[in-house]
Amino acid sequence: MHRTLSWLSPFRCRLLLVLVLVLNFLLHLYLLHKPGWLDLAGDEAQYWDWSRQLDLSYYSKGPAIAYIIRASCSIFGQTMPAIRYPAIVFATITGGCFYWLSRKLFQSDRLALGTVLLSGLVPMFAAGSSLMTIDSPFFLLWALATCLAAKAIFDDASALWPIIGLLVGIGFLTKYAMLLWLPAMLLFLLVDPASRKHLRLSRFWLATLIALLCTLPVVIWNAQHDWVTLRHVGTQTGASGESHFQPTTILLFLVGQAGIINPAVFACVIAGTIFALRVGFTKSSEPATVAKSVDSAGSFRRVEPVRQLRFLVVIGLFFFLVTSLSALRSKPQPNWPAPAYFTLLILASYFLSRELSVSKIWRTTLAIAIGLGIVMLPTVYDTTLLYPLVRWINAQSWSFKIKPARVDFAYKLRGNDQIGEYVGSYLKPGDMVFCEDYQMTSLMAFYVPGQPRTFYTGSWTGRRRWAQYDLWPDRQLDRPALFGKDALVVGDADAVLRSRFEHWQELPELPIERDGLLLRTVRLARGVSFKGMSRPAMAPAF
């Protein structure tokens, strides 16, 4: 194996890294400008709508995402590519962080390049490189903070701690889970004897203070808005106590992780994590930096970097376990543990680097990971590649048919521009646009010609949870200034909403099709002379 890779000098590894990152950047840039590619997701459109009304914070998230999108759109215009440009920049920098930290901890450019290539087999990262959600800057800030912490700890560069604190604080303004980085790091400093001295440094605690000070905009905004974010996050994570234990959800959650990570890569992550725990925490508690590893015959194999393995496994596993345990009381999203994989993938890469030359099992596992990546990644970038299979199955005389939405996880990202144009064709001067779903409300704000203000009705009928629209004074549906106006209602509308107009007219439904397959049908209606609405007596579902 060593002779096979002997041509991979440090210079060539770094050259290949640049090549991989540039090609990946150009691929995503091409996709953003490819006609008919993915429209904005509901969350992306929501964050864009926030960017039109900048504030200290927002209903469900911190303010950073809105400011990032505002900056990009100020330069490149109010367009879909402009919203997503930051995502591909962040993904490119994150790829460099994978390389830098691997190289820093294990002194191997080959291993560092392997880590970058291994991360390239992960479908979740491919999707995250294309969409401008909060996870894109969050992952980058988690990676940057971890890289600088490695520099501070292993090079005794304590001057970096205040900068690390600032990164964590800005990360919190992107996604609140960033604060979990602090207890993860504190845990490592406690369990690694050689690193405990940092706990006695004022700069480390200054970093914590800086991170906490960065939470002030969110705290101030929430104090002004009845702590809606606290209740929303509590409901989502199950911390509010309103949900019930669901042990089976953890199993489903882990199966989902294997799917979005790549099952074979996930197996490598598990193996690397177990290996790091065994080497890092079953050795002597002395502050040694290395430990001897032996093979099954008892022969000496190599010296293991104990502290580095501890560093990676503690930070990654802590975050993964916290998000996994939340599945006991809520339904976690598959992307929640994403930052954990920054260090856990490096562990997987290190584990593979020591096993590939001696273990056929792990050579086979890596080959499967590469094969699955080759199969899965093209469909992540273009899920319509699955449509011919759907058509073939549906053409058979079988008793079941497959809806495209069953196999195309991105079907809701298709046709949103078409819906906006369709709504615009019926829009008259002075008309309002109502949507029961807050994501459709955001999408129509972006895609209806002229990008008008849109109104969210779901919480007013009591059928949906609150959203940011419920907090903006100009979107309140009990405002007398809205009475008597007509509205185009996009999507479903219940009897409560229909009753709030003098007349109700159903308009032709819009079919959203791709490659001859019906993805969904969107309803449209005109409500004539709006009579206003009142908040339901029931408490809002946060």
Query: pLDDT tens digits for 222-251?
Result: 999 999 998 888 776 655 555 555 677 788
Contact 523, 491 (CB under 8 A): yes
Q: Is the dihedral of CA 140, 24, 120, 354 positive or negative?
A: negative
| Residue 380: CB atoms within 10 Å | 20
Q: Where are the alpha helices (H) located in 129-179, listed in sequence order?
A: 135-154, 161-174
Q: d(Cα 460, Cα 227) in Å, to the nearest integer?
A: 20
Model pLDDT for residues 513-527, shown as the tens digit of each residue: 998 899 999 999 999
Relative to beta strand 300-305, strand 290-294 is antiparallel
Residue 311 neighbours by CB under 8 Å, 6+ apart: 105, 150, 153, 188, 192, 343
Query: Which three-class secondary structure string do you get for 52-110?
Result: CCCCCCCCCCCCHHHHHHHHHHHHHCCCHHHHHHHHHHHHHHHHHHHHHHHHHHHCCHH
**Model's pTM, two decimal places?**
0.93
| Per-residue tokens: 146 | 């971890």
- One digit per residue, the tens of pLDDT, for the chain of length 542 reads 445 677 889 999 999 999 999 999 999 999 999 988 999 999 999 999 999 999 999 999 999 999 999 999 999 999 999 999 999 999 999 999 999 999 999 999 999 999 999 999 999 999 888 899 999 999 999 999 999 999 999 999 999 999 999 999 999 999 999 999 999 999 999 999 999 999 999 999 999 999 999 999 999 999 999 999 988 887 766 555 555 556 777 888 888 899 999 999 999 999 999 999 999 887 544 444 555 555 444 444 567 899 999 999 999 999 999 988 877 767 778 888 999 999 999 999 999 999 998 999 999 999 999 999 999 999 989 989 999 989 888 888 787 888 888 888 899 999 999 999 999 999 999 999 999 999 999 999 999 999 999 999 999 999 899 999 999 999 999 999 999 999 999 999 999 999 999 999 999 999 999 988 999 999 999 999 999 999 886 545 55
